[in-house]
């Protein structure tokens, strides 16, 4: 009996030890699997973070070499966003012209916001910028509002911002339901001619335009 008791106790201890080892083995596999899944999750999380960081950099973080936090990598041009303005990421389709928005009424109060559309530039100097402006002015025509009887005559003028000559062609914009002046201008910077459609008057936004003109560069895809 004593021998049998010893044997039973021994086998019991053996079974308990084996069971414990078996449980620990699965626990180890479970831990190992969890750590592996955790690594995958971590990697996935990093990828997700990167996917959100990339647009953030495009939206104004400026990337690793660009120091200005307001620098924007747009669809066609890169520039610094002027104070008070925002880049229109939401409403702009991919590869469309870059657009800035000032969430304030235009200088004449007829438009709820001011839009600045930056058209892709091409190689050229001040001579070509002036040529484009004059050609645009020549294509416009005098218009009379049939309801008010007021006649609007398009005009051409030249100005300067931050030492850069700009060539302005202006006309009436009725898109907002009112007869409101808008000015389009061309300028040359670093061998590239740019066009900016401003749904307002240049003289009312010279500080913002100075920021754009001095920082703009054609986007390289």
Confidence of residue 21 (pLDDT cuts 50, 70, 90): very low
Distance CA 96, CA 92 (A): 6
pLDDT digits (tens, 9 = 90+) for 119-131: 988 899 999 999 9
Residue with token string 């999750």: 41
- When divided into structural domains, the chain yields a total of 2
pTM value is: 0.69
Cα atoms found within 13 Å of the Cα of residue 79, Cβ hemisphere only: 30
User: Does residue 89 share a domain with residue 56?
Assistant: no
| Domain match, 86 and 166 both | yes
Q: Summarize the confidence of residues 101-119 as an average pLDDT.
A: 95
Provide, rounded to the nearest whole percent, the portion of the chain with pLDDT above 70.
Answer: 69
Out of 61, 82, 111, a domain closes at: 61
- Residue-wise pLDDT tens digits, 162-205: 999 999 999 999 888 889 999 999 999 999 999 999 999 999 99
Pick from 118, 82, 101, 115: nearest CA to 218: 118
Residues 36 and 143 in one domain: no
Q: What integer pLDDT is reported at residue 32 of this predicted model?
A: 32
Q: What is the mean pLDDT of the chain?
A: 76
Let me know whether 47 and 108 are in one domain.
Answer: no
Q: What is the pLDDT of residue 126?
A: 97
**183 & 104 share domain:** yes
CA–CA gap between residue 82 and residue 159 (Å, rounded): 20
- Domain with residue 185: its CATH number is 2.60.120
With 90 as the cut, is the pLDDT of residue 138 above it?
yes
Quote the domain boundaries for residue 101: 70-218
Strands (E) in 81-179, as ranges, are 85-87, 98-102, 114-123, 143-144, 151-152, 155-161, 164-173
Q: In the chain, which ranges are continuous DSSP H helix?
A: 2-56, 126-139, 206-215
Please report the pLDDT score of residue 67 as a whole number.
56
Under a CB-based contact definition with an 8 Å cutoff, are residues 186 and 120 in contact?
Answer: no
In a shared domain, residues 86 and 122:
yes
Are 32 and 104 part of one and the same domain?
A: no
Residue 46 has pLDDT above 90, yes or no: no
Domain end: 61, 84, 100, which one? 61
In the prediction, which pLDDT does 40 show? 26
Across the range 16-40, mean pLDDT stands at 36
Same domain, 115 and 38: no
- Which residues is 114 bridged to in the sheet? 102
77: pLDDT strictly greater than 90: yes
Q: DSSP letter string over 1-27?
A: -HHHHHHHHHHHHHHHHHHHHHHHHHH
Contacts of 198 (CB under 8 A, 6+ apart): 114, 115, 116, 182, 183, 184, 185, 205, 209
Domain boundary among 10, 42, 61: 61
Query: Region 18-34: what's the mean pLDDT?
Result: 39
């Amino acid at each position: 009996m004593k021998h049998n008791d010893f044997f039973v106790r021994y086998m019991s201890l053996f079974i308990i030890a084996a069971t414990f080892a078996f449980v620990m083995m699965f626990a180890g596999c479970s831990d190992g699997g969890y750590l592996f899944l955790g690594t995958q999750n971590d990697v996935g999380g990093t990828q997700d973070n990167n996917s959100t960081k990339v647009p953030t950099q495009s939206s104004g973080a400026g990337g690793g070499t660009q120091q200005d936090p307001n620098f924007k990598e747009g669809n066609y041009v890169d520039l610094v966003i002027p104070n008070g303005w925002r880049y229109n990421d939401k409403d702009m389709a991919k590869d469309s012209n870059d657009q800035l928005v000032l969430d304030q009424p235009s200088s004449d109060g007829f438009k709820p916001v001011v839009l600045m559309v930056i058209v892709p530039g091409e190689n050229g100097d001040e001579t070509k910028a002036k040529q484009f402006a004059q050609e645009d002015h020549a294509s416009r025509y005098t218009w009379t509002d049939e309801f008010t009887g007021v006649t609007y005559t398009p005009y051409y003028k030249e100005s300067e911002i931050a030492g850069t000559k700009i060539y302005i062609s202006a006309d009436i914009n009725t898109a907002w339901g009112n007869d409101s002046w808008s000015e389009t201008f061309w300028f040359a910077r670093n061998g590239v001619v740019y066009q900016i459609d401003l749904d307002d008057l240049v003289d009312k936004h010279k500080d913002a335009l100075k920021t754009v003109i001095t920082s703009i560069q054609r986007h390289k895809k």
